[in-house]
Chains A and B, each alone.
Chain A
Amino acid sequence: MASAIGAWMVANRDVYIGNATAMRDFRVQLRGNRSVLLFGLYLFVLIGVALIVYSSTSGMSGMSGVTIVDAQSHLKQFYETTMGLLGLTVCIVAPGLTATSIVAERQRQSIDLVFSAPVTPKYYLVGKMISSFRYTWMLLVLSLPVTAASVVLGGASWADVLVAYILLSLQGLILTAFALLMSAVSPKPVGAIIWSYAASLLYNIGAYAASSTALATLRYGRGGGAGSEAPCFVALSPWTVGEAARTYMTLGGHQVPNWLIMAVVSLLIVKICLLGAGALLSPSGGKEVVGLRIHALLYTATLSGIAGWMAWEYLCHIAPTSFSSSGIGSVTGSAICGIMVSWVAMPIFLFMPFVGCFGFDRERRYMPNGVFSIRHLLDGTPAGGFPFLLSMLLCLFGGFAFGGWYHMRIGVSFDFWIFAIYSFTLWFFFWSLARLVSSLVNNLKTSRVLVFSGFMFLVVMPYPFLLAVAGIDLDINKMSLWDLYILEPITGRRAEPIPKAILFSAILFGLAVVITAIGESRTRTKLKSMRNYDERPYQAA
């Protein structure tokens, strides 16, 4: 036991301290005058902009009639502008530095040399993470003199600055992880750069929207600001670190600073990004795939648990009345919850092509090893695809129900589980279609694209399309197409959706069983020669 822990610690020390990949990149990064020039230019720009902002905000304080409070708020504004600038730096520098790191090695093929050595994807990726992040971090540290100025002048306290830097570092870490994932996915450097910045942009828009709304409520609603209570996601955006630094959230009666929650969240995000990249770099069925799947299940369960915890009260007590008042029949709160979770499960269609199709992908193979096997739940092989899908759904529905129960101590009724079953049969049906397509088409990519686009056309597109055609005031009762539409139980707009959900479930289940049988028999014949080959006794030449 002790020796196992010792070995584990040594392995991790090797990964995080003295990582050879990071060491080599470090030597290259600091070679010659390039980085000195770059740092100099960066400081010059930073100080220049800070001076301009400072003179424009503090210029008024020279005028008569400016109160101390005004001057204070100007200084605070100066501090926040500086922090915003640093946020911008992180958003630009972190993805830019990281995006090409893996693709470039793949193009130069030096990645093959690295992976012909006893290097795990973890070791390699953490090394890459360290080398890019260290550079971003050096830029942050270099900006300290500028931020120190605002502390000295009185715009912020040292604690503010420290927490703001921690937040910026965490956001830099997240953006680095995104870029690293993109770098592992993309075959070309240009693509990696574009996708990294796209991911960074998306993250920024989402995080900024969330945190600025929350902060606005703080500012105007309660007149608070620093040192007040706010939801933890205010700390997500690099643009508002100055304001978010001192906020906290009350969890279980304790005031937990948001930066601490943010630290945990960002490490989880980094972990799942690195696992994704690792799964791409390792052979099929590798340890990283297992880790990725476990994390996916855990996060799904946690998120739906939180959703249940938050939405339960509203959905169980308020929703049924409002739904019935708008002319929809006797839908219970539990059924509404079920409908909602079924909708939330929709992004599973993104997994569908990967879970249902097999074949060849670049240098890997995905030979079907059966239809259903719990044993393969986590290893990413086709036999485990469907069990994984089921566990995903279980996490969604179970997490939601548990979250609600934990909050209100009221269990869901049978109506909720009806929709869980409906959701399960719907995805079973699409999974069986994916297996059929995959058995008919030889090429992995083609079959995945077919499954994906088929699903988009059949399920995702019609809804917004019909809404657009019919206008927002869609009278569903007049649209006969909806009667054919298999999603009708989920949309739940009609009276008595529950019997329909049961009926549709039964039909879909039957169809799925038949399609699976056809697809599997085709697969078996196709692979017979292959199997024979595998089992041929070998003779050395």
Chain B
Amino acid sequence: MLEVKNLRKEYAGLTAVQGISFNLHPGDIFGFIGSNGAGKTTTIRMIATLLEPTAGTAILNGADIRRDTMEVRRMIGYMPDFFGLYDDVKVWEYLDFFAAIYRVPTKQRGEVIDSVLELTNLTIKKDAFVQSLSRGMQQRLCLARCLVHDPTLLLLDEPASGLDPRARAELKELIAELGRMGKIVIVSSHILPELADFCNTVGIIERGELLAFGPVSKIVTEMQPHRVLAVQVLGAAADFVGPIADMPNVLSAVAVGEGDLRVEFSGDLEAQADFLAKLVGKGMRVATFREDSADLEDVFLKLTTGALN
């Protein structure tokens, strides 16, 4: 379990992370969303023990990132938003080096390297030089590197940037698999669709502040407690706003464009069906009638102001 407590980072004259707190449990895949400069990398680097927090701390399975640095490092796999590859090194040598510094016993290293290469689909590149790999392959090699010591917490900083759609889908599958294996995975990104479908927890950060945290569905319902119905009618929508607003369970109704209406509705599905029947009964010619469910992107845009740090 990872407990982040009041983690705060100040640079001279700038607070990059303003004391954020959250808890994650084994199996959680946490999507860390924020625009450029929001403080994602800073937070991740603090948890990775590479940056000293100005205040606060994080505790991973009882080990404090400030006091038990070595213990924490043994449990984490950190994949930065850059590659940090060495020149003139072969793929297996690169992995062997990291297996060695993670103190993987010499006898097991060959096996471990083969299995992480298998997992990341790089087996055929085992003897290639790392600088000869394509960008996506290098990215996967970096992920393979994080896995050599079977970490409990994975910190992936923008892991999907530069991957083709296929590789991206594979990466998602891989991360989901890691979650099923009981690891805690933190994935940062500013590409929202990338995260929404495989993260079970998200956090939205702006200017170093955690604006929202929790399961995707919870965040969405919090932001939009009522159902929004999109109704397309034939004829001028503005004429219908008044009568609709007076109907039961309708909180508000606005015309959007020529024949579209957005209705905020508080009733259940039963009431919703009655509402449609009433509309038709009143002689409105309804062309489409659907629930406009909000997604993470709406939440994100609504919560953040786009202000830069």
Contact = CB atoms under 8 A, between A and B. Distances in A.
Interface string A97-129: 000000000001111111111111001000000
A284 B177 CA distance: 38
Contact of B101 (A28, A112, A118): A118
Given A27-B93, A360-B12, A110 B100 contact: no
A460 to B, nearest CB: 28
B84 interface: yes
Contact of B19 (A109, A114, A119, A533): A533
Interface of A: 14, 18, 20-21, 23-24, 27-28, 31, 108-120, 123, 283-284, 359-360, 363-365, 367, 442-444, 530, 533-534, 536, 538-541
Given A118-B73, A538-B56, A541-B210, A533 B101 contact: no
Interface string B69-91: 11101101010101011111100
B48 A116 contact: yes
A31 B129 CA distance: 12
Interface of chain B, helix or strand or loop or mixed?
mixed
Interface stretch (B20-28, B119-127, B228-236, B267-275): B20-28
Nearest to A113: B84
A113 B142 CA distance: 10
Nearest to B148: A117
A34 to B, nearest CB: 10
Contact of A113 (B13, B78, B149): B78
Contacts of A110: 84-86
Interface string B246-267: 0000000000000000000000
A119 B48 contact: no
Interface of chain A, helix or strand or loop or mixed?
mixed
A359 B10 CA distance: 11
Give the interface centre of A118, A359, A367, A533 by most chain B CB atoms within 10 Å. Answer: A118
B160 to A, nearest CB: 19
A20 B84 contact: no
Contact of A27 (B56, B89, B145, B214): B89
A138 to B, nearest CB: 18
Given A360-B11, A540-B23, A541-B210, A283 B52 contact: yes
Given A444-B12, A541-B21, A116 B78 contact: yes
Nearest to B75: A118
Give the interface centre of A18, A21, A120, A541 by most chain B CB atoms within 10 Å. Answer: A541
B295 interface: no
Nearest to B85: A110
Nearest to B54: A365
Interface pairs A-B: 10 shortest CB-CB: A20-B100, A541-B213, A110-B84, A116-B78, A360-B12, A538-B5, A118-B73, A538-B6, A540-B23, A541-B22
> Interface extent on B, as a size class?
35 or more
Contacts of A113: 78, 80, 84, 98, 145
A238 B155 CA distance: 49
Contacts of A541: 20-22, 203, 210, 213-214
B198 interface: no
B102 interface: yes
A132 to B, nearest CB: 16
30 contacts: A20-B100, A21-B101, A23-B100, A24-B86, A24-B93, A109-B80, A111-B84, A112-B78, A113-B78, A113-B80, A113-B98, A115-B49, A115-B50, A117-B149, A118-B70, A118-B74, A118-B103, A120-B70, A283-B69, A365-B54, A367-B54, A530-B55, A533-B19, A534-B6, A536-B19, A538-B5, A540-B4, A541-B20, A541-B21, A541-B213
Contacts of B100: 18, 20, 23
B118 to A, nearest CB: 22
Contact of A116 (B13, B19, B22, B73): B73
B114 interface: no
Nearest to A25: B86
Given A108-B84, A113-B80, A540 B89 contact: no
Contacts of A108: 84-86
Contacts of A27: 89, 93
Contacts of A443: 12-13
Contacts of B88: 28, 31
B139 to A, nearest CB: 14
B303 interface: no
Contact of B21 (A115, A367, A530, A539): A539
B51 interface: yes
